[in-house]
Amino acid sequence: LDQSFSSTDQRSYSDIRNTTDFWTYAVGPMLDSICPGTYYNGDTIPVGQTGRILLENKLLGLPRLRQVVVSDGSCTVPSAFSSLIT
């Protein structure tokens, strides 16, 4: 989450304020993290191993993002996260 949008744009996930910011993050650092092109040591991932999410799960079909909207008071926030969620 703390990865910057790009080498020229130092904003990160916590700096997202609008849909343009979200999509800049989604097609940059988020996609690069979920579907990397190289291993942690810099070696290129072989063609037969591509199409995996986080190098573990084989992608079947198209990925989908969805937003789940909840109403106030409908869930309990653990105390460890309460300062982060307003």
Burial code (b: 16+ CB inside 10 Å, e: under 16) for 19-52 equals eeeeebbeeebbeeeebeeeeeeeeeeeeeeeee
Between CA 28 and CA 33 the distance in angstroms is 9
pLDDT in tens, 5-22: 777 788 888 888 889 988
Q: What share of the chain is helix, strand, coil (3-state, %, to 5)?
A: 25, 5, 65
Residue 1 has pLDDT above 70, yes or no: no
pLDDT digits (tens, 9 = 90+) for 27-79: 888 888 787 888 889 899 888 887 787 778 887 877 788 888 888 888 888 88
The per-residue pLDDT for 82 is 81
| 52 sits in which H/E element | strand 52-53
Model pTM?
Answer: 0.58
pLDDT attached to residue 86: 61
